[in-house]
Amino acid sequence: MNTFLLCPPDYFKIEYSINPWMSGEAVDNKVAITQWIGLVMEIQKAGGIVKTIKPTSNLPDMVFTANCGIVHDGVVVLSSMKHKERQGEKKHFTAWFEDNNYNIVDLIPGVLFEGCGDALVHGNYLIGGFGFRSDLVGLEITAKALGLHLIHLELIDPRFYHLDTCFCKVSNTHAIYYPGAFKSGEIDKLKDVINLIPVSEQDARGFICNSMLVNDTLLIPALNTDIEKELKNNLGIKTKYVGVQEFLKSGGSIQCLCLKV
Helix (H), strand (E), coil (C) string for the chain? CCEEEECCCCCCCCCCCCCCCCCCCCCCHHHHHHHHHHHHHHHHHCCCEEEECCCCCCCHHHHCHHHHEEEECCEEEECECCCHHHHCCHHHHHHHHHHCCCEEECCCCCCCECHHHCEEEECCEEEEEECCCCCHHHHHHHHHHHCCEEEEEEECCHHHCCHHHCEEECCCCEEEECHHHECCCHHHHHCCCCEEEECCHHHHHCCHHHCEEECCEEEECCCCCHHHHHHHHHHCCEEEECCCHHHHCCCCCCHHHCEEC
CA angle 14, 19, 25 (to 5 degrees): 35
Q: Which residues of 144-162 are buried (b: 16+ CB within 10 A; e: fewer)?
A: ebbebebbbbebebebbbb
Asked if residues 76 and 103 have their Cβ atoms less than 8 Å apart, the reply is yes
Catalytically active residues are: 162, 256
